[in-house]
């Protein structure tokens, strides 16, 4: 099991890496003691999106499937949480609503994924179909302003969005403030480690083999489509987790969190970070979300312009991602001459990363 | 009776024109170069804004629309030269780059010109058949869509440029070896694609509110048409538009716009399950 955490599909291995990991984790755990509660709340707010980024990294970087429509599953799950939490009442039922809404997002992903993957949709079309579905959902939800659009007592409210659901709670204890923060950190650690184990397992190797060359994987006896569907469903489930957490955090969700600018965001985070590694995606997305949050305070539009510029700069200057590139540079320096062989192997491994999917 | 028939045709023509005009530019860029242009909606927006701006300055509508299409085309050539050119060997990255561009343009427009400007109103004129009245402008749009298709056919099948463009499409290295200036052909093709997008925006500018994010209204339709059609513009996009327009029209008429759009998406998902490479793949295979 521990071997899987340190496997060859993930960069960052050995004692140095895990010491850094523990230091960062410790810092994250101590943080609320020193920061004021407003900042802690903000922090948990942008941690929400890390799950969607990690899911996209799995699908795009490891599986070679670029979905533009991760906010589709974000939205489905976010709205599902709202509807379920309102209908099922507060308290511990919210946890059930959280789990159920992720399941709903995964079922939606399974159905859409079945049609796309079994239909043989390749790289570019895959993204277009998911994006189209996303825009149609946003458009549809925008039209649901009338009182006839309701599920039980839950009104969808069109562009104004749905509100009035309870936040996450266990019994009478509301998970908010620093409790929510710790909840998020714990979830991120679990998801990160689980994904590391997944990509280093046999399944992960098949997923990567599929990305490299679907025909070859097929020849070796794997039903490529099943693995792609699995990857797509897991990745979308993580987007769903983000969505449900988002709704429960702010107790509202609007169609604008699904539409075009929102849909571009996960792509920017993951592309900037370096899509072919989970750790790079985690670190990069965190940095970008933090930066984005800071700039948004001044102007939402300006922040989005900057995001677009960042995406353009990434593909033009560092197609493999900035964070990944910097990380490799540091790793090479660190290992130095003494272990030139090892870093050479790392460089070779990185050369195996595809330019294209 | 003939009034009802005409009404059905009118509704079909309306959707068909919308699909063809919004998809033609995208289909060319994709069919020619394998580049999916995520900034397509922004070229449409550009066409619409230039049209409205010029009309407010007193330029007659038709001339303003032509100028808008040309402007979008020129911007397209510039974009090809500055950005898209580097990505022909990395189609997926080209898509990300143009998406980045789209975000920059949309949000900058929001910052600079604000969320909406006043429109210019649909040109007057309507006619009646039986008990129904129809807007003339909608038929003009349909005529434009047909003209675009004919124009594309002539450009790519009957001219020297078209021949070289198709050669480049087939095998760029070979075409270059035979003396075709592939770089220029790529730039012009992208310019034509952008110009058609601009034309789409120009033609629809009088009929809708102008907001910087208006490109998104067209994006779903254009992508879906291209996906269903496949890579070939004439054999793919046009039949796909006919097919989707029929579905859309029927659903619009009986259940309203939202169901029309959702139903169209479902139809698309079903079609690609059966025909992964689009309608054109079947037609091209038949033709051989």
pLDDT at A7 over 60: yes
Q: Which residues pair with A249 in a beta bridge?
A: none
With CA atoms as reference, the chain A residue closest to B36 would be: A124
CA distance A61 to chain B (A): 13
Task: Tell me which of B42, B95, B100, B216 to substitute to probe the interface with A (most A C-beta atoms closer than 10 Å).
Answer: B100
Residue-wise pLDDT tens digits, A16-25: 888 889 999 9
Chain B residues whose CB is inside 8 A of the A264 CB are 99, 103
**B123: its two tokens:** 């040109």
CA distance A119 to chain B (A): 4
- How far apart CA A83 and CA A269 sit, in angstroms, is 29
Task: Band the pLDDT of A80: cuts 50, 70, 90.
Answer: very high
Judged by CB atoms closer than 8 Å, whether chains meet at B97 and A118 is answered as no
Residue-wise pLDDT tens digits, A214-228: 889 999 999 999 999
Q: Does B86 touch chain A (CB under 8 A)?
A: yes
Residue A309, helix vs strand vs coil: helix
CA distance A303 to chain B (A): 9
Tell me the pLDDT of chain B (288 aa) as tens digits. 678 888 888 889 989 999 999 999 888 888 777 788 889 999 999 999 999 999 999 899 999 999 999 999 999 999 999 998 888 888 788 888 999 999 999 999 988 888 777 777 777 778 888 777 888 888 999 999 999 999 998 998 899 998 888 888 888 888 888 888 888 999 999 999 999 999 999 999 998 888 888 888 888 888 888 888 876 767 788 888 888 899 888 888 788 777 888 888 888 888 877 877 777 777 766 665
Task: Tell me which of A138, A311, A319 to substitute to probe the interface with B (most B C-beta atoms closer than 10 Å).
Answer: A311
Task: Band the pLDDT of A357: cuts 50, 70, 90.
Answer: very low
Residue-wise pLDDT tens digits, A40-70: 888 888 899 999 999 999 999 999 998 988 9
The whole-number average pLDDT for the span A136-140 is 87
pLDDT at site A22: 92
**B175: its two tokens:** 């075409």
Say which residues have a Cβ less than 8 Å from residue A118's Cβ, sequence separation at least 6: A225, B273
Chain A residues whose CB is inside 8 A of the B87 CB are 315
Owner of token pair 């923060």: A181
Among A28-32, A208-212, B128-132, the least confident range = B128-132
With CA atoms as reference, the chain A residue closest to B95 would be: A124
With CA atoms as reference, the chain B residue closest to A140 would be: B258
Residue A151, helix vs strand vs coil: strand
DSSP assignment of A81-127: HHHHHHHH-STTHHHHHHHHHHHHHHHHHHHHHHHHHHTT--HHHHH
Give percent helix, percent strand, percent coil of chain A, each to the nearest 5: 75, 5, 25
Q: So where are chain A's domains?
A: 2-27+37-335
pLDDT at site A327: 79
Q: Does B104 touch chain A (CB under 8 A)?
A: yes
pLDDT at A341 over 80: no
Q: Which of A271, A304, A356 shows the shortest C-beta gap to B107? A: A304
Q: Which of A123, A128, A261 shows the shortest C-beta gap to B227? A: A128
DSSP assignment of A196-241: HHHHHSHHHHHHHHHHH-HHHHHHTT--HHHHHHHHHHHHHHHHHH
pLDDT higher for B274 or A99? A99
Owner of token pair 């919210």: A94
pLDDT at site A208: 93
Say which residues have a Cβ less than 8 Å from residue A130's Cβ, sequence separation at least 6: A67, A68, A69, A70, A72, A112, A116
- Single out the residue of A277, A241, A261 nearest to residue B216, CA to CA: A261
Structure ipTM over 0.90, yes or no: no
- How far apart CA A154 and CA B202 sit, in angstroms, is 41
With CA atoms as reference, the chain A residue closest to B277 would be: A121
Look over chain A and give the mean of its residue pLDDT values, rounded to a whole number. Answer: 86
pLDDT at site A239: 97
Chain B residues whose CB is inside 8 A of the A133 CB are 265, 269
**A1: its two tokens:** 């099991």
CA distance A69 to chain B (A): 12
Judged by CB atoms closer than 8 Å, whether chains meet at A308 and B103 is answered as yes
Task: Tell me which of A116, A124, A211, A299 to substitute to probe the interface with B (most B C-beta atoms closer than 10 Å).
Answer: A124
Angle among Cα A207, A213, A215 to the nearest 5 degrees reads 105
Count other C-beta atoms under 10 Å from residue B253's C-beta.
12
Angle among Cα A81, A61, B36 to the nearest 5 degrees reads 90
- Single out the residue of A62, A74, A123 nearest to residue A275, CA to CA: A62
Q: Does A199 touch chain B (CB under 8 A)?
A: no
pLDDT at site A174: 85
CA dihedral A323, A326, A328, A332 (to 10 degrees): -160
pLDDT at site B168: 85
Task: Tell me which of A61, A136, A296 to substitute to probe the interface with B (most B C-beta atoms closer than 10 Å).
Answer: A136
Q: Does A290 touch chain B (CB under 8 A)?
A: no
pLDDT higher for A168 or A233? A233
Q: Which of B95, B219, B258 shows the shortest C-beta gap to A135? A: B219
pLDDT at site A345: 54
Count other C-beta atoms under 10 Å from residue B241's C-beta.
29
Residue A332's Cβ-side half-sphere holds a number of Cα atoms within 13 Å equal to: 12
Q: Does B265 touch chain A (CB under 8 A)?
A: yes
Residue A298, helix vs strand vs coil: coil
CA distance B223 to chain A (A): 7
Task: Band the pLDDT of A136: cuts 50, 70, 90.
Answer: confident
The answer to whether the Cα torsion of B203, B209, B210, B211 is positive or negative is: negative
The answer to whether the Cα torsion of A49, A55, B107, B44 is positive or negative is: negative
């Amino acid at each position: 099991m521990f071997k899987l955490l340190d496997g060859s599909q993930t960069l960052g291995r050995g004692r140095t890496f895990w010491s850094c990991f523990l230091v960062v984790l410790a810092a994250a755990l101590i943080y609320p003691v020193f920061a004021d509660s407003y900042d802690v709340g903000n922090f948990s707010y942008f941690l929400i999106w890390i799950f969607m980024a990690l899911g996209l990294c799995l699908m795009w970087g490891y599986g070679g499937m670029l979905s533009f429509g991760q906010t589709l599953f974000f939205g489905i799950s976010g709205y599902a949480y709202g509807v379920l939490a309102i209908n099922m009442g507060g308290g511990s039922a919210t946890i059930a609503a959280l789990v159920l809404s992720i399941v709903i997002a995964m079922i939606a992903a399974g159905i859409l994924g079945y049609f796309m993957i079994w239909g043989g949709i390749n790289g570019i079309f895959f993204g277009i179909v998911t994006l189209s579905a996303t825009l149609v959902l946003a458009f549809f939800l925008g039209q649901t302003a009338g009182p006839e659009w309701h599920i039980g007592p839950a009104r969808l409210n069109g562009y104004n969005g749905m509100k009035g659901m309870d936040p996450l709670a266990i019994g009478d204890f509301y998970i908010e403030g620093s409790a929510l923060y710790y909840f998020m950190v714990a979830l991120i650690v679990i998801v990160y480690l689980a994904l590391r184990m997944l990509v280093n397992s046999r399944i992960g190797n098949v997923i990567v083999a599929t990305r490299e060359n679907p025909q070859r994987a097929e020849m070796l006896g794997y039903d490529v489509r099943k693995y792609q569907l699995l990857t797509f469903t897991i990745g979308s489930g993580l987007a769903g987790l983000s969505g449900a957490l988002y709704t429960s955090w702010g107790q509202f969700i609007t169609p604008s969190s699904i539409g075009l600018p929102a849909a571009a965001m996960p792509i920017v985070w993951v592309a900037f970070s370096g899509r072919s590694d989970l750790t790079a995606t985690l670190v990069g997305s965190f940095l970008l979300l933090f930066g984005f949050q800071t700039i948004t305070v001044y102007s939402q539009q300006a922040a989005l312009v900057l995001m677009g510029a960042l995406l353009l700069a990434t593909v033009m200057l560092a197609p493999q991602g900035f964070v990944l590139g910097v990380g490799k540079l540091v790793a090479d320096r660190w290992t130095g001459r003494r272990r030139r062989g090892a870093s050479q192997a790392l460089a070779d491994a990185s050369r195996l990363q595809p330019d294209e999917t | 009776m003939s009034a009802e028939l005409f009404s059905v045709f009118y509704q079909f023509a309306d959707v068909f024109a919308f699909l063809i005009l919004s998809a033609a530019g995208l289909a060319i860029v994709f069919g020619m170069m394998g580049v999916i242009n995520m900034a397509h909606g922004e070229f449409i927006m550009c066409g619409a804004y230039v049209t409205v701006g010029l009309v407010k300055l007193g330029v007659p509508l038709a001339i303003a629309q032509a100028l808008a299409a040309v402007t979008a085309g020129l911007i397209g050539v510039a974009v090809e030269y500055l950005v898209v050119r580097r990505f022909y060997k990395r189609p997926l990255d080209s898509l990300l780059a143009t998406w980045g561009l789209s975000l920059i343009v949309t949000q900058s427009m929001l910052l600079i010109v604000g969320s909406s400007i006043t429109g210019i109103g649909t040109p007057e004129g309507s006619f009646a058949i039986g008990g129904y009245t129809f807007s003339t402008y909608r038929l003009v749009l349909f005529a434009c869509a047909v003209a675009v298709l004919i124009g594309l056919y002539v450009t790519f099948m009957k001219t020297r440029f078209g021949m070289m463009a198709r050669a480049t499409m087939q095998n760029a290295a070979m075409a270059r070896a035979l003396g075709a200036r592939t770089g220029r052909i790529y730039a012009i093709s992208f310019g034509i694609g952008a110009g058609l997008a601009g034309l789409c925006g120009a033609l629809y500018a009088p009929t809708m509110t102008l907001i910087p994010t208006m490109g998104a209204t067209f994006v779903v339709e254009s992508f879906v048409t291209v996906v269903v059609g496949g890579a070939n513009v004439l054999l793919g996009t046009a039949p796909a538009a006919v097919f989707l327009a029929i579905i859309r029209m029927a659903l619009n008429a009986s259940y309203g716009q939202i169901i029309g759009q959702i139903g169209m998406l479902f139809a698309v998902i079903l079609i690609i399950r059966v025909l992964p490479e689009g309608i054109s793949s079947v037609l091209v295979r038949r033709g051989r």
